[in-house]
Structure 1
Amino acid sequence: MTANPRARRTQLLSTYGIGGLFPSETTSFMIAGLDEWRAESPLVSEPRLARSLGVLQLKSPPAGSKRDVPVIRFPEVQICTSCRRIGTIFDLSRDWNVAKCAQCEAKADLTPFRLIVTCRRGHIKDFPYYEWLHKGTPGAGVKHEMRLKALGRTSSLADLVLQCSCGVTPRSLDGATTLKALAPFGKCSGARPWLGPEYTQECAEIPQAVQRGASNVWFPAVRSAISIPPYSEAVAKFVKRHWKFFEDPEAVNARLLENLASEPGAKFTVAELASEIERQRGEDSGVEIDEEMLRRQEYEALLAGFEDDGKTSDFVCLKQELDPDLPSLVTEVRKVTRLREIRALFGFSRLDGVTDLSSDALCALSHTQKNWLPAIEVIGEGVFAAFDRAALAEWAERPFAQDRRTRLQNAANRRAEEFGRIEAPQVDIVKVALHTLAHVIIDQFSLDAGYPAASLRERLFVDENMAGILIYTASSDSAGSLGGVASQADPERFADAMREGLTRLSWCSADPVCIEATGSGVDALNLAACHACVLVPETSCELNNVFLDRALLFGTPVDNQESEGLFSDYPR
């Protein structure tokens, strides 16, 4: 069925995407798969990102009042707010489209059941309330009219009690969300309702009950890219948008190009159009692009810089002089006055965030292979800083850095073993240090530039050959490109931001507990990091606020290691 709840385009990738639950008034819906979407959405031009995800096109999610994004009602199990009867919406209202109880005089609203059932492979279904209460099969011929009584003492599951007219002993929902609580009721059903009732899978997982509104019900798998030259140029987007006219070489002639160049408001010459058509036609689509290659290309573009050529480029990156007060580790600073970020949704997971394209825990967006994925584009600005990779490599080999790396690696190994993963992520201690520094700068920019921290984002460029961080805004509202963040790249301002940020974050109100922590955060994947110092809003962090350690920047008083941090000698 379809409904008319409203959501912004960005929410259809980040909050209420395919397979996710969308609350609307007193009911709840699930966003249906791409097979049910209308595919006439505007194109989002970014060939690099599309190729890295194995599709031909990226398209903007529909928005407006045309009901272009279909939904299904989920969960199907409902509760009458008056008589407390439990059943499907049809059982209680006799109409799949009307969420009103027809079984009681009050004709009260129906609300979704509080619990749902899911597994680590992303399958999802209604909570087995009948089996939970009866713990077996009652005698034949007995009528079962079930109700959910709320004791009203607290809002906990222990205060929600299932009752049945068959006379079975009432049972609360207490303990239903524990790990093995549903094991007596069999294996996972393999249901994928966002694709349709017929698209089930074999699944040997033990399902787990979770709260319907819990944050682990849906984790988006999103890959992003910064549009860089030549893809960021207006002529490249124009040609890509009209590629169906240029794809056939025999159809492209001088007359066609002259007509396009002479139209009112035309921005490109015949030569520019011909050159771009030839470039796009000559691109080797057989070369695989992964996320590491995307980052390397962006890093090189940021280092190279790009002046505004007056042709409405989506990438303007200006080289800045280095203030003498900057730490010697900083080798380059760039003022990025304009950038365009594209984010594409290529899957989702449940219970545990998964972004690996090859993982069987990554849920498909459609039951048939599509040549496009939903994506959004946002315009922003920012500051890029590059660091001395050789100096960072030398520091990373010191005993202090290696000891911190070993602690984080052990935590990552335990997490992988607990969740049954084949291989744990390898901890790069340089990346952890620069990640922590990025959070310090986000926190300082939010004070200096007056931006909310949630409107700032980080982008890390770290491997054996590169070391850099980009702090930028990429927001669909007015906080996206006001110029306040890019202005922080001015030599004196950036030096002040580094000094003040490092000074403030060199201590924490939770010290000495924080700086001496041997494991904190989700699955102990942080060391010296807490909400009082370097943790930032989840939307700002690429790594979900894990792999952070403030001691890498400032050292730690444990065993007199205050001088071992990257910036221990930097005057604060």
Structure 2
Amino acid sequence: MSKKFKDTSNITPVGEVRPTQLLWTYGPGALIDMPSLSVVTLGIDRWEKDRCPPIVEARLLAAVQKVLGSQVETMRMPPFVKADKVDPWSAEARVGVPVRPFPRWLRCVKCGMLAEYDSGLFKVKESRYRPENTRFVHQSCCGSEGDKPARDADAVPARFLLACRNGHLDDFPWRYYVHGGQTDCTAGLRFFESGASLQTENLWIKCDGCDAKRNMAQAFGKSGKENLPACRGRHPHLDRYDSDCDEEPRGVLLGATNSWFPITLSALAIPLARDPIIQLVQDGWDNFVDVESLIEVKAILKVMVKNAILPGISAYTPDEVWAVVEAIQNGDIDNTVTQDDIKGPEWDVFIEPNPPTDWPHFLSESTEVPASYKAQISNVLLLKRLREVNALIGFTRVEAPEESNDPDEQPPMAALCNDTPDWIPASQVHGEGVFIRFAEDRLKVWEEKPAVKALSEKLFEGHQGWRNSRKLDPDKGYPGIRYVLLHTLSHLLIRELALECGYNAASIRERIYADTSDGKSQAGILIYTAAADSDGTLGGLVELGKPDSLGRLLDQAINRAKICSSDPLCSEHEPQKDRTLHAAACHACAFAAETSCERGNLYLDRALVVATLDNPHAAFFNDLTNE
């Protein structure tokens, strides 16, 4: 996928990213830091919507509409070029998402001059055949001493920015900062280094006119609150300034992860109807909702098959499809879609006595439970084919969003476009997985153990302290001790699977099913691959879900978790004292890659899975009759 930035005269390609990166890393409002250039991805109202292929997943679309409004009609993939080699001068080479240089301030690498890119001192050097080499240069630079022959020198982005919790992002106020406040001085600025290291104490900004200077250490921490101006409410991806912002701006570095956190929703493509054709028509109902005749159905199917909009629909005749459409329109078939609970329908499918075995995006097979774990595990389901759809609904800055769909439980969510969106970016990944359901009777006995209740109380106190420090309701959002157990075991298994299945740990993901509200009794984990191409369906993960392999991996995971290389510090960690959301867990034993964990490595505790040095009585995999 190419990236391009616009001016009034032309479009300049500046590099490439993968389509999925535009959801997780470089979405609207995010900075893309390249070797010679930094750009911000513009809002989706600037994207070429017609070049964005639609993705059909009715349950996820309903969940998105609940958050953003019913005006959202479709989910679409970012535009991309299908061909491997494209003529750099062709129209196809210009397909991509629009970006703009940001920050606007550039620094000459030779003379240290600091100025805005549109000040007339810099020019763009375009590279059509190697777009990633496109860069700015300082024209006729004479070097830091001014005595060298004039020649063009590279100019790189100034690496300091301002961001606030309300989702605003702005250029660093260089003139304000070096002069200690508002000033009428318009002389040139220079950025230079002193000392052997690149600590902020050794980075200086100086005014050529009045000789005012200040080092960058005073732009961070408590000093930053005194030396930085109020937030201007800027959204560079929308060309907009909010009128009021009462949040304190914070200095951030270009490329820092806290400058952009995506807020996404995801769902698995699962069969909700017993008849495959009914499921397909329901999934693509937006295409059939206004159909009034068989002729219209034929025309729609022709377009669908040609553009691969609804895989699997080509196996049915127009007459068969029209019969289902008529039945739904007449109310003979229920076409309602659950939007309050994305995971609930998935759980219902996984625990069916005879789960669906062959659908366009879902192929499952029941298998035996490992012999040594039949007391703790009810059943295992091998998912040989599945599809996950992810939708980007917004983002935050400075502070990561909490795992909650309630807007009151998240930092303020920044918008993807200026107006209310009628579509949102999405991606789909194909993969395979293993679903493990745990014995409800054993879990209930385990949850009543005094040691488990005591540990749950400590975790809840840590949860309350963590939320109090963020001005959130301290009594909401706790997932329960059952969730912490399943979540920890999932991480331990992911570590073992990554060593043997052929996938790296970052390409393996989890979904935890632990909802016990309203009489529900979920207790399961799904570990699956999440690759954007065929590499996610190679079969390596499914093979390890068979009884002998899964039993061996569980043994290894449990034995390895008993002792952490950071013990005794890891096992003695007390969340209620540190206001943290994990107990006996760290990078050496239970943390997983950010792309793998659905909770950002929160709510983890090895002591719930195995006996640890500090807590030998709360382990689920100990003899439940012993204390």
TM alignment of 1:359-508, pairs within 5 A: 359=410, 361-423=412-474, 425-464=477-516, 465-508=521-564
- TM-score scaled to structure 1, two decimals? 0.90
Of 159-168 and 482-491, deviating more is 159-168
Equivalent pairs counted in the alignment come to 560
Residue 404 of structure 1: SS of its match in structure 2?
Answer: helix
Give the letter for the 2:537 counterpart.
S
Match of 1:214 in 2: 256
Asked if 1:205 is matched to 2:247, the reply is: yes
**Residue in structure 2 matching 1:112, options 148, 153, 157:** 157
Residue 354 of structure 1: SS of its match in structure 2?
Answer: coil
1:393–1:430 contact (8 Å) kept in structure 2? no
Match of 1:80 in 2: 108
Mark the CA change 1:448 to 1:252 in structure 2 (over 3 Å): closer, same or farther: same
Unaligned runs of 5+ in 1: none
Of 451-460 and 239-248, deviating more is 239-248
Residue 485 of structure 1: SS of its match in structure 2?
Answer: helix
Asked if 1:299 is matched to 2:353, the reply is: no
1:102 and 1:357 map into 2 onto residues whose CA distance is: 51
Give the letter for the 1:269 counterpart.
T
1:257–1:270 contact (8 Å) kept in structure 2? no
Match of 2:383 in 1: 336
Asked if 1:554 is matched to 2:591, the reply is: no
Give the letter for the 1:300 counterpart.
D
Deviation readout 1:26-81 (Å, 9 max, x if unpaired): 11000000110111111111010011010321111111333331111111111111
Give the letter for the 1:431 counterpart.
Y
Match of 2:129 in 1: none
Give the letter for the 1:497 counterpart.
L
2:425 and 2:381 map into 1 onto residues whose CA distance is: 31
Deviation at 1:190, TM superposition (A): 0.7
1:78 and 1:521 map into 2 onto residues whose CA distance is: 45
1:314–1:338 contact (8 Å) kept in structure 2? yes
Deviation at 1:278, TM superposition (A): 4.3
1:156 and 1:258 map into 2 onto residues whose CA distance is: 62
Deviation at 1:236, TM superposition (A): 6.7
Asked if 1:60 is matched to 2:71, the reply is: no
- TM-score scaled to structure 2, two decimals? 0.82
2:231–2:247 contact (8 Å) kept in structure 1? yes
2:282–2:335 contact (8 Å) kept in structure 1? no
Match of 1:289 in 2: 339
TM alignment of 1:220-369, pairs within 5 A: 220-230=262-272, 239=281, 246-252=288-294, 256=298, 266-270=314-318, 272-278=320-326, 281=329, 289-290=339-340, 293-304=341-352, 306-309=355-358, 313-354=360-401, 356=405, 358=407, 359=410, 361-369=412-420
Mark the CA change 1:179 to 1:375 in structure 2 (over 3 Å): closer, same or farther: farther
Percentage identity across paired residues of the two chains: 31
Mark the CA change 1:317 to 1:242 in structure 2 (over 3 Å): closer, same or farther: closer
1:79–1:87 contact (8 Å) kept in structure 2? yes
2:459 and 2:539 map into 1 onto residues whose CA distance is: 37
1:288 and 1:486 map into 2 onto residues whose CA distance is: 29
1:43–1:60 contact (8 Å) kept in structure 2? yes
Match of 1:90 in 2: 118
Give the letter for the 1:387 counterpart.
F
Of 160-169 and 379-388, deviating more is 160-169
Mark the CA change 1:38 to 1:285 in structure 2 (over 3 Å): closer, same or farther: farther
2:246 and 2:208 map into 1 onto residues whose CA distance is: 34
**Residue in structure 1 matching 2:238, options 159, 172, 195:** 195
Deviation at 1:418, TM superposition (A): 2.1
**Residue in structure 1 matching 2:168, options 116, 123, 137:** 123
Unaligned runs of 5+ in 2: 7-11, 66-71, 82-92, 126-134, 142-149, 307-312
Give the letter for the 1:316 counterpart.
L
2:401–2:411 contact (8 Å) kept in structure 1? no
Give the letter for the 1:81 counterpart.
V
Deviation at 1:446, TM superposition (A): 1.6
2:375–2:442 contact (8 Å) kept in structure 1? no
Give the letter for the 1:505 counterpart.
A
**Residue in structure 2 matching 1:144, options 173, 187, 196:** 187
Residue 137 of structure 2: SS of its match in structure 1?
Answer: coil
